[in-house]
């Protein structure tokens, strides 16, 4: 779910440093007033995102208390200088082995990326990698080095007088082998002993947090006939669920997810490691075949989240009543360059042009009546009807890119399936690469959609409910 890792090893930029020093003095003011408010993930995989100065303005306009980056972007950190916003930065996954192997490397990374902002930015969390235990392709190269890298960076922070920063790593719900009922929560057997035990030991010893990415949206979409939408959206009065193992009663799906993680930690003997929700949220849009992704649901979820997570005294969860759980919503902007299904590009609380997707107050203080009415939900039930995959509007002209995508699609589909768009085929149109591309994209998607294939092709493709067939050329479609 998280944005793709962003591969930047930022070297120190002396010019920026100078600017920062000028801004700093006196600007680091008390921020207790907003400390219960949500933080926001500031992903940058958009072709049309505004500059950091605008992003920071927008963050403040909705009362954000914190911001979390997927790197240590110096331009963004420079913009945060002197603000009350707490910053969370990330060491990219690719650098974990080097940081683990070499203390000088860790020291240099901290010196280059963080020290320039040490006195101007409220640096709070250093996250070592993003959801690495969900990526089996780096199982051998990176997983075994995670704890060592965290230890070295922890030491580097001390060396560089950044003692207040906590070192953690973000993990997704798939670190659990069992998550239901919550009391049965247990870590996957491949990571429990080799990774989770030393990780939890490190987090406990360094008084850090377990950083969890938890999205009720995903289990709800997979079980929307069984789990009520209100329960997933944290609507008051939703039908509750009682865990037969613990006897605890749940009023929402997010609490269930959090308690499954608490149960898994407790099972390994670590009751006292506190949680941070590093990502959660709800998509404000998506493809025709994606259920429940709309502005109304996104607004309801994130508003309820803000109220719940900023409550005083803290609500906690049924298994950890009263626990404070700092929370980062995903994300600041809709990001048009995130691959995958349409929802991936629709998690923002803002459009890239800075317009709010819906009204939101991350301090949780505003009642619903203070916001403009929300649009009706159009897709809370599964879509019924036919869907096709075609070339996205405006992408018809980039013939080089389209040709590459067609070659890929035709290489994946059943042998001979692309014959229709070769000379003499029923869908061949001379000098019309976009037409051929639509045909190939549709072939590919109809064959692979049930196994997770998406209608995206780097932004070249999109779903349609208008049959693109023309004349003797038929585009196939299975009803959704």
Which residue ranges make up the site for ligand NAG (CB under 6 A)?
Answer: 102, 104-105, 108, 137, 139-140, 351, 353, 355, 397-398, 400-401
SS3 labels along 292-355: CCCHHHHHHHHHHHHHHHCCCCCCECCCCECCCCCEEEECCECCCCCCCCHHHHCCCCECCCCC
Instruction: Rank residues 115 and 214 by Cβ distance to ligand NAG and give the closer one.
Output: 115
Beta carbon of residue 159, minimum distance to ligand NAG (angstroms, whole number) = 14
Beta carbon of residue 346, minimum distance to ligand NAG (angstroms, whole number): 11
Burial class (CB in 10 A: 0-12, 13-18, 19+), 360: buried
Q: How far is the CB of 448 from ligand NAG (least distance, A)?
A: 23
User: Residue 28 or 404: which CB sits closer to ligand NAG?
Assistant: 404
Whether 55 and 37 have beta carbons less than 8 Å apart is answered as no
Sign of CA dihedral 349, 352, 356, 357: negative
Q: Is 367 in a helix, a strand, or coil?
A: coil
Q: How far is the CB of 368 from ligand NAG (least distance, A)?
A: 22
Q: Which letter does DSSP use for residue 41 in this model?
A: E
Q: Which is nearer to ligand NAG, 107 or 255 (CB)?
A: 107
Q: Which is nearer to ligand NAG, 277 or 392 (CB)?
A: 392
> Is the CB of 210 or the CB of 435 nearer to ligand NAG?
435
Helix (H) or strand (E) holding 55: helix 52-61
313 or 394: CB nearest ligand NAG: 394
Q: What amino acid positions are annotated as catalytic residues? A: 131, 279
Quote the least distance from Cβ 404 to ligand NAG, whole Å.
8
Helix (H) or strand (E) holding 124: strand 122-130
144 vs 177 by CB, closer to ligand NAG: 144
Please provide residue 423's backbone torsions phi and psi, each rounded to the nearest 5 degrees: -50, 130
Give the whole-angstrom CA distance, residue 201 versus residue 35. 27
**Least CB distance to ligand NAG at residue 109 (A):** 8
The span from the CA of 219 to the CA of 461, in Å, is 27
Rounded Cα–Cα distance for residues 322 and 220 (Å): 26
| DSSP string for residues in 68-101 | EESS--HHHHHHHTTSS-EEEEEE-GGGHHHHHH
In whole angstroms, give the CA distance from residue 390 to residue 438.
4
* Least distance (Å) between residue 157 CB and ligand NAG: 17
- Number of neighbouring beta carbons within 10 Å of residue 46: 20
Q: How far apart are CA 197 and CA 208, in angstroms?
A: 15
């Amino acid at each position: 779910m998280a944005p793709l890792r962003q591969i930047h090893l930022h070297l120190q930029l002396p010019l920026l440093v100078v600017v920062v020093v000028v801004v700093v003095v006196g600007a680091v003011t008390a921020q207790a007033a907003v400390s219960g408010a949500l933080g926001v993930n500031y992903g940058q995989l958009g072709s049309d995102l505004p500059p950091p100065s605008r992003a920071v303005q927008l963050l403040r306009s909705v009362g954000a208390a914190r911001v979390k980056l997927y790197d240590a972007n110096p331009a963004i950190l420079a913009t945060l200088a002197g603000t009350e916003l707490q910053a969370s930065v990330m060491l990219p996954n690719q650098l974990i082995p080097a940081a683990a192997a070499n203390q000088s490397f860790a020291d240099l990374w901290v010196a280059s990326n963080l020290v320039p902002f040490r006195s101007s930015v409220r640096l709070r969390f250093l996250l070592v990698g993003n959801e690495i235990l969900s990526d089996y392709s780096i199982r051998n190269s990176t997983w075994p080095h995670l704890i060592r890298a965290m230890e070295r960076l922890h030491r580097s922070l001390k060396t560089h007088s950044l003692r207040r920063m906590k070192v953690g790593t973000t993990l997704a719900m798939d670190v659990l082998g069992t998550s239901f009922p919550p009391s049965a929560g247990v870590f996957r057997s491949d990571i429990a002993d080799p990774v989770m035990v030393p990780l939890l030991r490190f987090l406990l010893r360094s008084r850090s947090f377990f950083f969890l990415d938890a999205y009720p949206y995903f289990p709800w979409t997979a079980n929307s006939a069984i789990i009520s939408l209100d329960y997933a959206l944290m609507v008051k009065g939703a039908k509750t669920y009682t865990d037969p193992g613990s006897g605890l009663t749940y009023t929402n799906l997010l609490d269930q997810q959090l308690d499954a993680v608490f149960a898994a930690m407790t099972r390994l003997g670590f009751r006292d490691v506190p949680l941070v929700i590093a990502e959660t949220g709800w998509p404000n849009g998506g493809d025709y075949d994606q259920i429940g992704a709309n502005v109304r649901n996104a607004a309801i979820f994130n508003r309820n989240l803000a109220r719940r997570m900023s409550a005083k005294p803290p609500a906690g969860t049924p298994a950890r009543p009263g626990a404070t759980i700092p929370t980062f919503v995903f994300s600041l902007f809709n990001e048009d360059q995130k691959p995958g299904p349409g929802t991936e590009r629709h998690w923002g609380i803002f459009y890239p042009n800075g317009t709010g997707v819906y009204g939101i107050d991350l301090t949780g203080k505003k009642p619903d009546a203070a916001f403009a009415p929300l649009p009706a939900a159009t897709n809370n039930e599964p879509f019924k009807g036919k869907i096709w995959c075609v070339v996205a509007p405006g992408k018809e002209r980039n013939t080089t890119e389209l040709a590459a995508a067609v070659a890929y699609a035709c290489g994946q589909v059943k042998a001979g399936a692309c014959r229709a768009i070769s000379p003499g085929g029923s869908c061949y149109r001379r000098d019309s690469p976009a037409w051929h591309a639509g045909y190939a994209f549709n072939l590919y998607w109809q064959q692979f959609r049930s196994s997770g294939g998406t209608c995206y092709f780097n932004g070249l493709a999109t779903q349609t409910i208008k049959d693109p067939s023309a004349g003797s050329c038929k585009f196939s479609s299975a009803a959704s």
